[in-house]
Structure 1
Amino acid sequence: MRRIGLLGGTSWESTVGYYRLLNEGVRDRLGGKHSADLLLRSFEFAEICELQEADDWAALGAIYATEAAVLRDGGARVLGICANTMHLVYDDVVQGSGLPVVHVVEAVADAAQAAGIERLALLGTRYTMGSDLYPSRLAPRGIEVLVPDTEDAAEVNRLIHDELVLGQVGELSARRLRGIVDRLVARGAQGVVLGCTELGMVIDPADPTLPVPALDSLTLHVNALLDAALEPLTTSLEEGAA
């Protein structure tokens, strides 16, 4: 397999999920004692948050481009950004590394399209929900993105930053999030994307009581990374960045 370079730590709670699922995926696909060939750059999350809050995406892009090049020089041949929000500097990572970078939204778009979803509700940080990150890649597929109203969006962002990134899942917050999903469904959502890699801690996509399918961006991203890392070396993936 190609060596996978991970830009993680945002937060480390979900990066642990990437590490576990990538290793489980390689074991399941290759069998025996096989495990994932990985390099991880785990950022200090507080420093990243400060730059996000300052709206200094240029600085974040420069940091991620530099660290992506370090992963490349360490032998990585496929890269993954272990967060939805930080895909806002995706182009910087591609340019800094010159490697294929597997985009989380493309993985979600593939799953949504396969499920026949045309109106997809998006849950994530305020940066993800308030940007063109998802619409820019879903609209060409004929998929409309719905986001929560102002009050509900603030609650989703609070849940992520005040609880989930700290490894906490409050029962009241879980009920509130379920209510937000119900309101999005009432607006016509045919599915909901857990567009923050920590949201799988509070919503189980396999929950049969969910009113619509839930797409877990972390799991879908991991599967796309495995596809890229395990594709035959003769494919076009070797020719340049995705």
Structure 2
Amino acid sequence: MTEQALIGLIGGMSWESSAQYYRLINEAVRERLGGVASARTLMWSFDFAEIERLQHAGRWPELSRRLADAARALEAGGADFLVLCTNTMHREADAIEAAVHIPLLHIADPTGAAITAAGLSTVGLLGTAFTMEHDFYRGRLETKHGLTVLTPDADDRAAVHRIIYEELVAGRVLDASREVYKAAIARLVERGAQAIILGCTEIMLLIGQADSPVPVFDTTTLHAMAAVDRALVDLKAADFT
């Protein structure tokens, strides 16, 4: 039987999307290994109320410390590599990597690889305001994967952010909000977006391919499948660079 690495999941940001990671990873392992196989996982799950409060207060050093502590706990528990189940908190990816000796599978990399493999170069990015407006995510896609990344205008960014924090993280999926996102997507396509990145792990609860005239790249699914790929290879051959 194929050897499985132990996946260390840093979740709870929010648990709505962390539950999707757990489902997707286990479904993929069962499909690939057959029978009743499931993934070897270890999860640290935050109280998202605390994370959300610190995010909007701009207390990033405190968030960085908490993520580093979670990463060290998972490493101590035997995790072979880490998966941070959120786009926004990859703002603190460097701090996580510095805190442990095991690799972090960065969420932007399987996304960027899938987009370039599809022959696309200009993408629209939807996510929290932190993801859309800060450089940590967009910059990695641009410098490492050679993509041109477009973000919505200020009004659309505010609406996309509000729907994430007021609805999706609480499990509320509303048709009216789907229409807001579809309009934002249409405006990005008008500006030249060849594809749309669902750059918040909860957006996949609201938006799918049927809601976009151009290809949609769901970071939650892409990240989860990349984790499965890594977990099922010979550990000595794994390359996270």
Q: TM-score range by the shorter chain?
A: over 0.9
**2 CA distance for matches of 1:236 and 1:215?**
24
CA distance in 1: counterparts of 2:149 and 2:5, whole angstroms: 33
Residue in 2 that maps onto 1:227 = 229
Say if 2:230 and 2:238, in contact at 8 Å, map to a contact too.
Answer: no
- C-alpha displacement of 1:142: 2.3
Question: C-alpha root-mean-square deviation of aligned residues, in Å?
Answer: 1.2
Deviates more, 1:80-89 or 1:140-149: 140-149
- Assess if the C-alpha contact under 8 Å between 2:9 and 2:43 holds in 1: yes
AA at the equivalent of 2:25: L
Partner in structure 1 of residue 118 of structure 2: 115
The answer as to whether partners of 1:65 and 1:96 remain within 8 angstroms in 2 is: yes
1:42 to 17, 40, 45: 45
State the partner residue of 1:164. 168
Q: Distance in 1 between matches of 2:208 and 2:16?
A: 16
Q: Would you identify which runs of 4 or more consecutive aligned residues in structure 1 move more than 4 Å? A: none
Matched, 1:4 2:7: yes
Q: Is 2:123–2:195's contact at 8 Å kept on the other side of the alignment?
A: yes
Kept in 1: contact 2:138–2:149 (CA 8 A): yes
Residue in structure 1 matched with residue 60 of structure 2 by the alignment: 57
Alignment of 1:31 onto 2:67: no
Distance 1:189 1:169 in 2: 25
Whether the 8 Å contact between 1:134 and 1:145 is mirrored in structure 2 is no
SS in 2 for 1:35: coil
Question: Aligned AA for 1:128?
Answer: T
Matching residue of 1:182: 186
Q: Residue type matched to 2:230 in 1? A: A
Partner of residue 127, structure 1: 130
1:99 matched residue in structure 2: 102
CA contact (8 A) 1:123 1:156 kept: yes
Given the alignment, which residue of 81, 89, 103 partners 2:84? 81
DSSP-derived class of the 2:53 partner: helix
Question: Deviations along 1:53-95, whole A, 9 cap, x unmatched?
Answer: 1111111111111110100111101110000001111111111
1:148 maps to what in 2?
152
Aligned to 1:195: 199
- Structure 1 segments unaligned to the other structure (5+ residues): none
Cα-to-partner distance string for 1:17-64 (whole Å, 9 max, x where unaligned)? 000001001111111111010111110101111111111111111111
Extract unaligned runs of 5+ from structure 2: none
- Residue in 1 aligned with 2:70? 67
Q: TM-score, normalised by structure 2?
A: 0.95
